[in-house]
């Protein structure tokens, strides 16, 4: 049985550019195993999950295409990092939760 995605905490946003940046989306009080990501920008955002030191790269990141929403397992990590291929900005919204 597939469980629909259910948020467990507030959505945060990450302003991604050609330089890696990160945002904490998974607070310890509401630790989630999944995160819903929405790329509201016009550039693909390559993402990585990790701790406060995580850095995203276009070579090893997971691409989130413009206008696309994905639900991914974050394995309980607290931060998402993002980087765009071009210099243009993109806003990535991350919502921690459970289910698909």
Tens digits of per-residue pLDDT, 8-33?
A: 999 999 999 999 999 999 886 667 89
In a domain, 43, yes or no: yes
pLDDT at 16: 97
Range of the domain at 59: 6-98
CATH number at residue 39: 2.60.120
Domain count, the chain: 1
Tell me how far apart the alpha carbons of residues 87 and 48 are, in angstroms, rounded to a whole number. 19
pTM exceeds 0.85:
yes
Place of tokens 């945002």: 23
Could you give the CA distance from residue 65 to residue 68 in angstroms, rounded to a whole number? Answer: 6
**DSSP for residue 29:** G
pLDDT digits (tens, 9 = 90+) for 52-62: 999 999 999 99
CA distances from 12 to 16, 52, 78, 94, 99 (A): 13, 15, 12, 5, 18
């Amino acid at each position: 049985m597939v469980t629909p995605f259910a948020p467990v905490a507030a959505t945060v946003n990450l302003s991604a550019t050609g330089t890696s940046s990160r945002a904490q989306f998974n607070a310890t009080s509401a630790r989630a195993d999944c995160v819903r990501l929405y790329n509201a920008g016009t550039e693909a955002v390559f993402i990585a999950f990790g701790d406060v030191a995580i850095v995203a790269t276009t070579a090893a990141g997971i691409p989130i295409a413009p206008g696309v929403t994905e639900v991914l397992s974050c394995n309980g990590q607290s931060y998402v990092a993002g980087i765009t291929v071009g210099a243009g900005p993109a806003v990535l919204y991350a919502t921690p939760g459970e289910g698909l």
